[in-house]
Amino acid sequence: MQWGMLLGIDVGGTHTDAVVIDESGIAASCKVPTEHGNLLASVESVIDCVCRQVPAAEIERLNLSTTLTTNAIVEGKTEEVGVLAVGGPGIDPTDFMLCRHFHALSGAIDHRGQLIRPMKESELAAAVAACRKDGIRAYAAVSKFSPRNPGMENRMAEVIGEAADVVTRGHALTGRLNFPRRLATAYFNSAIWRLFNDFADAVGKSLRRLGLSAARVNILKADGGTMPLSMAREMPVESILSGPAASIMGIISMCDIVHDSIILDIGGTTTDIAIFAKGAPLMEPDGIAIGSHPTLVRSLLTRSIGVGGDSALSVLAEEVRVGPQRPGPAMAAGGGHPTLIDACNHLGLAGHGDIARSRAGIERFAADHSLKPEELAQRAVDAAVGRIRDEVRAMVKEVNERPVYTIHELLEGRRIVPSKIYIMGGPAEVLKMPIFKAFSLSVSVPQSYAVANAVGAALTRTTRSVELFADTEQLRLHIPTLGVSRVIEPDYDLEAARRDAARSLLSFMRAEGVPSREENVEITQASSFNMVEGGRLVGRNIRVKCQIRPGILHRYKELLGRLC
Amino acid sequence: MLKAAHSLGIVFFPAFDWALSPTHPEREERLLYTQDQLEEEGVFDIEGIAEVKPLVADVADVERVHFTFPETELVTTRSHLVAAGGAMRAAQLVLSGARDKAFALVRPPGHHAMKSVHGTRGFCAINNEAIMIEHVRETHGARRIAVVDTDCHHGDGTQDIYWHDPDVLFISLHQDGRTLYPGTGFPAECGGPKARGRTINIPLPPQTGDEGFLMVIERVVRPILDDFKPELVINSAGQDNHFTDPITDMNVTARGYGRLNELLNPDIAVLEGGYSIQGALPYVNLAIVLAMAGLDYSGVVEPDLEPARVRQSNRTTEYVKRLCGELPRLYFNPPPDTSLTRENGYFVRRKEIFYDTDNIRETQMEFLRDCEHCPGFLRLETRSNRVPLSLGIEAPVGVCGACAEEARRQFEDAQLKGGFRYAQLIDRVNKIYQRIGF
Ligand SMILES: [Zn+2]
Ligand SMILES: [Zn+2]
Q: Where are the beta strands (DSSP E) in A267-373?
A: 271-277, 280-281, 289-290, 293-294, 302-305, 313-316, 319-322
> Contact A112/B1, CB-based, under 8 Å?
no
Output the pLDDT for position A563: 67
Residue B438 pLDDT class (50, 70, 90 cuts): low
> Contact B52/A92, CB-based, under 8 Å?
no
B281-292 helix and B32-40 helix, angle to the nearest 10 degrees:
50
Pick the ligand that lies closest to the CA of residue B246: 1
Q: Which of A145, A292, A531 is nearest residue B1 as measured by Cβ atoms?
A: A292
Radius of gyration of chain B (CA): 21
Tell me, yes or no, if A532 comes closer than 8 A to chain B by beta carbon. yes
> Contact A89/B36, CB-based, under 8 Å?
no
List alpha helices for B276-389, DSSP H.
Answer: 281-292, 307-310, 314-326, 328-332
Q: Separation of B130 CA from ligand 2 center, angstroms?
A: 22
Residues 79-108 of B with CB under 8 A from A: 79, 82
Residue B371 CA to its chain's centroid (Å): 27
Alpha-carbon distance of A79 to B409, in angstroms, equals 81
**Do residues B150 and B241 lie in contact, with contact meaning Cβ atoms separated by under 8 Å?**
yes
**Do residues B233 and B266 lie in contact, with contact meaning Cβ atoms separated by under 8 Å?**
yes
Residue A509 CA to its chain's centroid (Å): 20
DSSP, collapsed to helix, strand or coil, labels residue A503 as helix
What is the rounded average pLDDT for all residues in chain B? 96
For residue A164, CA distances in Å to A121, A123, A134 come to: 18, 18, 12
Output the pLDDT for position A564: 66
How close is the nearest chain B Cα to the Cα of A323, in Å? 27
Chain A residue nearest residue B286, CA to CA: A90
A37 contacts: CB under 8 Å, gap ≥ 6:
none
Q: Which of B36, B56, B296 is nearest residue A411 as measured by Cβ atoms?
A: B56
Alpha-carbon distance of B73 to B57, in angstroms, equals 12
The dihedral region occupied by B191, where left means phi > 0, alpha psi between -120 and 50, and beta the remainder, is left
Residues of B involved in catalysis: 112
Residue A102 DSSP label: E
Test mutation, A106, A145, A177, A541, chain B, max B CBs within 10 A:
A177
**Do residues B64 and B139 lie in contact, with contact meaning Cβ atoms separated by under 8 Å?**
no
> Mind listing the pLDDT tens digit of every residue in chain A (564 residues)?
456 899 999 998 888 999 999 888 889 999 999 998 899 999 999 999 999 999 999 999 999 999 999 989 988 999 999 999 999 999 999 999 999 999 999 999 999 999 999 999 999 999 999 999 999 999 999 999 999 999 999 999 999 999 999 999 999 999 999 999 999 999 999 999 999 999 999 999 999 999 999 899 999 999 999 999 999 999 999 999 998 899 999 888 888 888 999 999 998 888 999 999 998 899 999 999 998 899 999 999 999 999 999 999 999 888 999 988 877 888 999 888 999 999 999 999 888 889 999 999 999 999 999 999 999 999 999 999 999 999 999 999 999 999 999 999 999 888 999 999 999 988 888 999 999 999 999 999 988 777 888 999 999 999 999 999 999 999 999 999 999 999 999 999 999 999 999 999 999 999 988 888 888 899 999 999 999 988 899 999 999 999 998 888 877 777 666 666
Residue B138 CA to its chain's centroid (Å): 18
User: What are the boundaries of each domain within chain B?
Assistant: 3-332, 341-437
Test mutation, A94, A106, A110, chain B, max B CBs within 10 A:
A110
Partnered with residue B423 across adjacent β-strands are: B391, B436
Q: Which of B32, B37, B52 is nearest residue A541 as measured by Cβ atoms?
A: B32
For residue B210, CA distances in Å to A510, B253, B275, B312 come to: 57, 7, 19, 8
Residue B154 pLDDT class (50, 70, 90 cuts): very high
Q: Which of B27, B79, B300 is nearest residue A532 as measured by Cβ atoms?
A: B27
> Contact A401/B246, CB-based, under 8 Å?
no
Task: Collect all residues of chain B within an 8 Å Cβ-Cβ radius of residue A474.
Answer: none
Output the pLDDT for position A233: 97
Task: Collect all residues of chain A within an 8 Å Cβ-Cβ radius of residue B14.
Answer: 405
> Contact B39/A177, CB-based, under 8 Å?
yes
Cα angle value B111/B113/B117 (rounded, 5°): 170
Chain A residue nearest residue B301, CA to CA: A89
Q: Separation of B152 CA from ligand 1 center, angstroms?
A: 5
| pLDDT tens track for B340-391 | 899 999 999 999 999 998 999 999 999 999 999 999 999 999 999 999 999 9
Q: What does pTM read for this prediction?
A: 0.95
> Contact B300/A90, CB-based, under 8 Å?
yes
Output the pLDDT for position A1: 40
Strands A271-277 and A280-281: antiparallel
Task: Collect all residues of chain A within an 8 Å Cβ-Cβ radius of residue B301.
Answer: 89
Residues 1-30 of B with CB under 8 A from A: 1-2, 12-18, 22-23, 27-29
Cβ-in-10-Å burial (0-12, 13-18, 19+) of B322 comes to exposed
Alpha-carbon distance of B74 to B291, in angstroms, equals 38
- Number of separate helices (H) and strands (E) present in chain B: 14, 17
ipTM: 0.94
**Do residues B233 and B267 lie in contact, with contact meaning Cβ atoms separated by under 8 Å?**
yes
Q: Which of B29, B39, B283 is nearest residue A531 as measured by Cβ atoms?
A: B29
> Contact A407/B18, CB-based, under 8 Å?
yes
Q: Separation of B415 CA from ligand 2 center, angstroms?
A: 23
- Topology classification of domain A5-74+195-245: Nucleotidyltransferase; domain 5 (3.30.420)
Tell me, yes or no, if B301 comes closer than 8 A to chain A by beta carbon. yes
Alpha-carbon distance of A244 to A13, in angstroms, equals 11
Pinpoint the residues of chain A covered by CATH 3.30.420.40: 5-74+195-245, 256-445
Domain boundaries A256-445, corresponding CATH code: 3.30.420.40
Tell me, yes or no, if A110 comes closer than 8 A to chain B by beta carbon. yes
Give DSSP secondary structure letters for B85-114.
HHHHHHHHHHHTTS-SEEEEEESS--TT--
Residues with CB under 5 A from ligand 1 (ion): B 151-153, 238, 240, 273
Pick the ligand that lies closest to the CA of residue B402: 2
Q: Where are the beta strands (DSSP E) in A43-196?
A: 59-65, 82-86, 102-105, 108-109, 115-117, 138-143, 166-169
- Topology classification of domain B3-332: Arginase; Chain A (3.40.800)
Residue B51 CA to its chain's centroid (Å): 23
